[in-house]
Amino acid sequence: MPDLRTERLVIRRFTMEDLEDFHQVLTGDQDWWDDCSLEGARDALAFRIRQTAYHNPPLGYRAVILQDEDQLIGTVGYECYFLDAEERAWPGVFGMIEQGDFHQHRRKLDG
């Protein structure tokens, strides 16, 4: 998905260079995010980058940038909940592979 530009905002893919601003966004909303540490923000940001790469389009979250100040001020995204069972399973498998849990769960299934 290409960047979306308005008079004031840019909506674009996240990069790891967004970490500092992303961390500030998360710490400003502690009711929404449990782990407000820099490491927690790094993990959450890396997940959003991977999610967008695996499921783009249409799934994933984008950075909302205040254009004049080139500052990340929030996130916007879309998650589809109307997929059939097989399509819903793949994001979970990719997430487990990224987290190293896939083989552990596969062994449990295989007995």
CATH of 4-80 given 3.10.20.600, 3.40.630.30, 3.20.20.70, 3.40.50.300: 3.40.630.30
pLDDT digits (tens, 9 = 90+) for 26-68: 887 655 566 678 888 899 899 888 888 776 556 778 999 999 9
Residue ranges covered by each domain of the chain: 4-80, 81-111
> 0.85 exceeded by the pTM?
no
User: Tokens in use for 51?
Assistant: 């999610």
Please state, in angstroms and as integers, the Cα–Cα distance from residue 61 to each residue in 15, 39, 49, 97, 101, following that order: 11, 19, 8, 20, 23
Contact 21, 72 (CB under 8 A): yes
